[in-house]
Amino acid sequence: MEMESVFDALADDVSGYKLKEIHEELFEMRQDIKRAMDRGMTQEEMAVARLAVEAVNHAEHVTGRIYEALSR
């Protein structure tokens, strides 16, 4: 199986379909983490989970910015 980089996927994404697909995957990641948080965690696990949610949020922002820059 060949992996495509996010940059390459977005560079060829004229319609915005790949961006939407990436954002949906990031949304699912965020929901999975939040569900795990809701089930309960130690303080240390919760701190790591919060950082993971923050990383997913940043990834969503960055992919959007990359798409905008490549779409110009």
Residue 33 to residue 23: CA distance in whole angstroms: 15
| Interhelix angle 43-70/17-39, nearest 10 degrees | 170
Per-residue pLDDT band at 23 (split at 50, 70, 90): very high
More confident residue, 46 or 5: 46
Cβ-proximal residues to 12 (8 Å cutoff; 6+ apart), any chain: 18
The pTM (predicted TM-score) of the whole model is 0.86
Cβ-proximal residues to 64 (8 Å cutoff; 6+ apart), any chain: 19, 23
Question: What integer best gives the mean pLDDT of the chain?
Answer: 93
pLDDT tens, position by position, 46-62: 999 999 999 999 999 99
